[in-house]
Structure 1
Amino acid sequence: MHLVPEEREHWRAIDEHTVCDAIDAIGDPERVHAWASRFALLGEPGRLALLLSLHRAGPIAVSDLALATGIRDSAVSQALRLLRASGTVAAEKDGRIVRYRLVDPQVSALLDSLG
Structure 2
Amino acid sequence: MDVQPKIAATAFLIADAARAAMLMTLADGRALPAGELAYAAGVTAQTASSHLAKLLDGGLITVEKEGRHRYYRLADTQVASLLENLAAIGATAPARRKPRGRDARQLRFARCCYDHLAGQVGVAITQQLMQRDLLAPGEDKRLEVTQAGARWFGELGIDVAALRPGKHGIARQCLDWTERQHHLAGPLGVRFMSMLCENGWLRRASSSRAVQVTPLGRTALYEKLGVTVDDLGEDTDDQRK
- Bin the TM-score by the shorter chain: 0.5 to 0.7
Residue from 33, 53, 70 that aligns with 1:81: 53
Shift of 1:43: 0.9
Write out per-residue CA displacement over residues 69-105 of structure 1, whole angstroms, 9 at most, x where no aligned residue.
2111111100001111111111101222100011054
Identity of aligned residues (%): 30
Return the letter of the residue paired with 1:92.
Answer: E
1:110 aligns with 2:85: no
The answer for the alignment partner of 2:205 in structure 1 is: none
Q: Distance in 2 between matches of 1:109 and 1:80?
A: 20
Residue from 44, 57, 62 that aligns with 1:90: 62
**Stretches of structure 2 lacking an aligned partner (at least 5 in a row):** 88-176, 178-241
Aligned length: 87
CA contact (8 A) 1:50 1:65 kept: yes
RCO greater where, 1 or 2, for CA within 8 Å and sep 6 or more? 1
Q: Distance in 1 between matches of 2:29 and 2:46?
A: 20
Taking structure 2 as the reference length, what is the TM-score of the superposition? 0.34
CA contact (8 A) 2:19 2:41 kept: no
Higher helix proportion: 1
Q: Which one has the largest radius of gyration?
A: 1
Q: What is the aligned-residue RMSD (CA, Å)? A: 1.6
Q: Distance in 1 between matches of 2:76 and 2:18?
A: 18
**Stretches of structure 1 lacking an aligned partner (at least 5 in a row):** 1-27
Q: Distance in 2 between matches of 1:40 and 1:47?
A: 10
The answer for the alignment partner of 2:35 in structure 1 is: 63
Write out per-residue CA displacement over residues 55-75 of structure 1, whole angstroms, 9 at most, x where no aligned residue.
235200001111222111111
Write out per-residue CA displacement over residues 7-56 of structure 1, whole angstroms, 9 at most, x where no aligned residue.
xxxxxxxxxxxxxxxxxxxxx5x212211111111111111111111223
1:39 aligns with 2:11: yes
Higher strand proportion: 2
The answer for the alignment partner of 1:53 in structure 2 is: 25
Taking structure 1 as the reference length, what is the TM-score of the superposition? 0.67
Residues 110 and 36 (structure 1), Cα distance of their counterparts in 2 relative to 1, 3 Å cut: same
Q: Distance in 2 between matches of 1:106 and 1:36?
A: 17
CA contact (8 A) 2:33 2:69 kept: yes
Please identify, of 52-61 and 81-90, the stretch whose mean Cα deviation from structure 2 is larger.
Answer: 52-61
Return the letter of the residue paired with 1:66.
Answer: A
Residue from 39, 44, 68 that aligns with 1:72: 44
Residues 105 and 34 (structure 1), Cα distance of their counterparts in 2 relative to 1, 3 Å cut: farther
CA contact (8 A) 1:102 1:108 kept: yes
Q: Distance in 1 between matches of 2:80 and 2:42?
A: 22
